[in-house]
Structure 1
Amino acid sequence: MNASLINTEILPFKATAFHNGKFVPVTQDDLKGKWSVVFFYPADFTFVCPTELGDLADHYATFKSLGVEIYAVSTDTHFTHKAWHDTSETIGKIKYPMIGDPTGTITRNFGVMIEEAGLAERGTFVMDPAGKIQIIEINAGGIGRDATELLRKVQAAQYVASHPGEVCPAKWKEGEATLAPSLDLVGKI
């Protein structure tokens, strides 16, 4: 990824997701109008991926209570997502859409395609309701992500979006003090 995607609008795509026992169409427009997390992972039926997706499933109700939808994306097909959902106890817990991206369009749109493998990097993208990317995190293949940390970041992004002139310091958690950047703070922190 050469240029930062922060504050850019998501690019158009059309895909099919496995969601709540059905195959459903998903486009970039489905990600707008609410906070969205697009959670790329390398492949179904692997090792680190189910631990991450299961962790998200365990926290999904909390994300939903904040008005956030999660979209898991891999270059597998929606049929493969269904098969994995039907055969894995961990993946069977998932209630959020699992988007199939066998052409790699979405994965390339977000700049996380591993071209030589045809697989996605472990990329996490948080979009605001306007469809603009506010958070990007990309991990190496062997490093799993933490849904609790993602939740904290989403809450910080939502807070900053709804409180112009305030920013969230490191390790900020909901209810804690924020900062109002000003000349008076320079060199005092």
Structure 2
Amino acid sequence: MLTVGDKFPAFNLSAVPGGPEGLKGDFVQITDESNEGKWKVVFFWPLDFTFVCPTEIVAFGKLAGEFKDRDAVVYGVSIDSAFVHLNWRLNHAELKNLEIPMLSDIKRELIESCGVMAQQAGAALRATFIVDPQGIIRHVSVNDLSVGRNPQEVLRILDGLQSDELCPCNWKKGDAFLKA
């Protein structure tokens, strides 16, 4: 599995765009060079039309503006096709207003490059990567398939990374930094 300090792999994936554009059925290509110069939060979920996944995706979507305020983009990725992503958005009330793109890694190339394939499931683990504007991984977390992650915590970690300061346990934006 890739870890902190590694270069995030190159990718070129079809996606359902976020926002109202995503409901039109026009897919876009998103690559590692898209949104150049921005921080990237790339999170993987196992499969569409499941139970835990939409809770996470909706939670990340609700924070899209917070991430944008921090000059970061959020990409959600699974092994499902863009057609399946679109169908899920159209038929799941909470996903209709999703503000983040849903990327299709149907060939499992990015998932395998990152080392986050759940071999027995044949799908991605619940992995999250925070990537700096130079394409370097600055944070990685991986959850078991049965446990959803906390997007607020991902936002808190992004704040800490962007501060370039020493951040104590439970630090949040606006709190004092540690002095060495």
Structure 2 length-normalised TM? 0.92
For 1:184, the equivalent position in structure 2 comes to none
1:45 corresponds to 2:49: yes
Question: In structure 1, what is the Cα distance between the partners aligned to 2:13 and 2:104?
Answer: 7
Query: Structure 1, residues 6-61: CA drift from partner, whole Å, max 9, x if none?
Result: 11111122110110323101111125410110010000000000000011111111
- Residue of structure 2 aligned with 1:17, choices 6, 11, 15: 15
Which stretch has the larger CA shift, 59-68 or 24-33? 24-33
8 Å Cα contact 1:32-1:128 kept in structure 2: no
- Secondary structure of the 1:92 match is coil
2:44 is the counterpart of 1:65: no
Distance 2:55 2:174 in 1: 29
* Cα contact 1:75–1:100 (8 A) shared by 2: yes
Looking at structure 2, the residues matched to 60 and 14 of structure 1 have their Cα atoms a distance apart, in angstroms, of 22
Is structure 2 residue 102 aligned with structure 1 residue 104?
no
Residue 11 of structure 2 aligns with an amino acid whose one-letter code is F
What residue number does 2:142 align with? 138
The code of the aligned residue for 2:77 comes to V
- Given that 1:18 and 1:97 are in contact with CA atoms closer than 8 Å, whether structure 2 keeps it comes out as yes
Structure-2 separation of matches of 1:29 and 1:109: 16
Take 2:153 and 2:120, find their aligned partners in 1: how far apart are those partners?
30
CA distance in 1, matches of 2:36, 2:139: 15
TM-score, scaled relative to structure 1: 0.88
Larger radius of gyration: 1
Larger relative contact order, structure 1 or 2 (CA cutoff 8 Å, min sep 6): 2
* Partner residue, 2:174: 175
Which residue is 1:27 aligned to?
A: 31
Q: Is the Cα contact below 8 Å between 1:17 and 1:98 reproduced in 2?
A: yes
Task: Select which of 105, 117, 120 maps to 2:121.
Answer: 117
Counterparts of 2:152 and 2:171, CA distance in 1: 13
What is the root-mean-square deviation in Å for CA atoms of aligned residues? 1.3
Once residues 104 and 97 of structure 1 are traced to their aligned partners in structure 2, the CA distance between those partners, rounded to angstroms, is 17
Cα separation, 2, equivalents of 1:117 and 1:74: 13
Provide the aligned length of Structure 1 versus Structure 2.
174
From the superposition, tell whether residues 123 and 178 of structure 1 become closer, same or farther in structure 2 (CA, over 3 Å).
same
| SS state at 2:5 partner | coil
- 1-side partners of 2:172 and 2:48: how far apart? 32
Cα distance in 2 between the residues matched to 1:71 and 1:44: 15
In structure 2, stretches of 5+ residues that fail to align are none
Q: Distance in 2 between matches of 1:127 and 1:119?
A: 22
Q: Which residue of 2 aligns with 1:185?
A: none
Find the residue that maps to 1:153 and give its secondary structure: helix
Amino acid at match of 2:30: V
Q: Distance in 2 between matches of 1:17 and 1:47?
A: 21
Q: Secondary structure at the match of 2:34?
A: helix
